């Protein structure tokens, strides 16, 4: 059986807003397809075997917890993580985790905290929290359906550099910064987003896209079709309700 390993970064500290739903979705769908899924929890401290991980998940946390993981991330995780991603592993980063992928986070006082620098983007503290349901047009990813639905709750405003493309464009909600209409980032095997809710259960097409991206190197694609009627109905209902409210 082909193994499928999910590496969950700081499950004890960066775990707010039902992030477990993303992990469950990746794992259960792999199991339904006859893969052998495993979740490796990457807590603070030194971990070996990061090269065996197929998908990394990096969720959001509260300020205090985010400060606690910060040094550990830069000192102990940055290097093996970069190496694993260069080897073809995929990554989904949400909210705080997404912000930490970029060059830096700039506080309201103008202080800059460097991020992992994996992607050409940066984040600035905003004055207003963006809270609410989001619908994103992801036709650029050639997925069916061509939308993502989720819930955002962030005050940081993220700006993409010239070197990366957004995950999609918001149809409803604020997205990266509430200004340029972009939401998230999709760059090679790395996906960042402000959408939780949880994201993957209601967007099984994105879950499969990430899994397929990661498994390319193991030669197990195309993935077997699953019955997603329920997931897609949940997706459609949120999408239609949000869009009906805005037209």
Partner 1 sequence: MPVRTALAVMAGKATGSLSRLTGRGGGTTFPGDVARAVDPQVLRRLARDLKGGAVIVTGTNGKTTTSRLVHAVLEGLPARVVANRAGANLIYGATAAAVAGAGVDGHLRADWGVFEIDEATLPAAVDEIQPRAVLVLNLFRDQLDRYGELELMARTIQRALDKLPPEAVAVLNADDPRIGELGSHLSRKPLWFGLDDREAGAQPLPHAADARTCPRCGATLEFDAVYVGHDGEYRCPNGDFARPPLDVAARHLRLRGLEWLGLNLDGQLVEARLGGIYNAYNVTAAYAVGRALGLEPAYLAQRLMSVAAAFGRQERFEAAGRQFTILLAKNPTGFNSVLRDSIELARGRHYLIALNDRIADGTDVSWIWDVDFELLRPSVQIVVPAGDRAYDLAVRLKYAGVKAEPPQVDLGQALDRVLALTPEGQHTFLLCTYTAMLDLRALLVKRGWLKPYWAT
For partner 1, the binding residues (CB under 8 A) are 12-13, 15-21, 24-25, 28, 62-65, 68, 129, 131-133, 151, 153, 196-198, 201-202, 230-231, 233-234, 237-238
Residue 130 is a catalytic residue: no
Q: Are strands 190-193 and 185-187 parallel, antiparallel or unpaired?
A: antiparallel
Residue nearer to partner 1 on the CB measure, 87 or 132: 132
Residue nearer to partner 1 on the CB measure, 2 or 133: 133
State in angstroms the smallest separation of the CB of 138 from partner 1.
Answer: 19
Residue nearer to partner 1 on the CB measure, 69 or 118: 69
Residue nearer to partner 1 on the CB measure, 18 or 181: 18
Between the alpha carbon of residue 187 and those of residues 68, 90, 122, the distances in Å are 27, 10, 15
Active-site residue among 122, 130, 154, 196? 196
- Which residues, listed in sequence order, are joined to residue 168 by a DSSP beta bridge? 183
State in angstroms the smallest separation of the CB of 62 from partner 1.
Answer: 5
Active-site residue among 95, 122, 130, 205? 95
Cα–Cα distance for residue pair 121/123, rounded to 1 Å: 7
User: Helix 229-246 and helix 204-215: axis angle, to 10°?
Assistant: 120
Contacts of 136 (CB under 8 A, 6+ apart): 147, 148, 149, 150, 167, 168, 169, 170, 171, 173, 175, 183, 184, 195
What residues are annotated to the active site? 95, 196
């Amino acid at each position: 059986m082909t193994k499928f390993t999910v590496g969950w970064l700081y499950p004890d500290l960066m775990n707010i807003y039902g992030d477990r739903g993303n992990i469950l979705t990746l794992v259960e769908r792999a199991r339904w397809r006859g893969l052998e899924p495993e979740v490796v929890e990457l807590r603070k401290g030194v971990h070996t075997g990061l090269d065996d991980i197929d998908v990394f998940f990096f969720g959001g946390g509260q300020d205090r917890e985010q400060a606690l993981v910060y040094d550990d991330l830069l000192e102990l995780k940055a290097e093996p993580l970069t190496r694993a991603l260069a080897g073809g592993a995929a990554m989904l980063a949400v909210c705080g985790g997404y912000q930490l992928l970029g060059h830096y986070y700039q506080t309201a006082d103008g202080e800059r905290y460097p991020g992992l620098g994996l992607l050409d983007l940066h984040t600035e503290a905003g004055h207003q929290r963006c809270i609410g349901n989001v619908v994103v047009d992801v036709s650029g990813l050639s997925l069916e359906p061509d939308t993502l639905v989720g819930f955002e709750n962030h005050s940081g405003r993220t700006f993409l550099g010239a070197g990366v493309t957004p995950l999609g464009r918001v149809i409803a909600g604020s997205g990266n910064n509430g200004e340029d209409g972009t939401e998230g980032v999709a760059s090679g095997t790395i996906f960042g987003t402000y959408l939780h809710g949880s994201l993957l259960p209601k967007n099984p097409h994105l879950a499969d896209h990430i899994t397929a991206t990661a498994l390319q190197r193991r030669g197990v694609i195309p993935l077997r079709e699953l019955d997603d009627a329920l997931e897609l109905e949940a997706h459609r209902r949120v999408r239609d309700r949000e869009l009906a409210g805005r037209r």
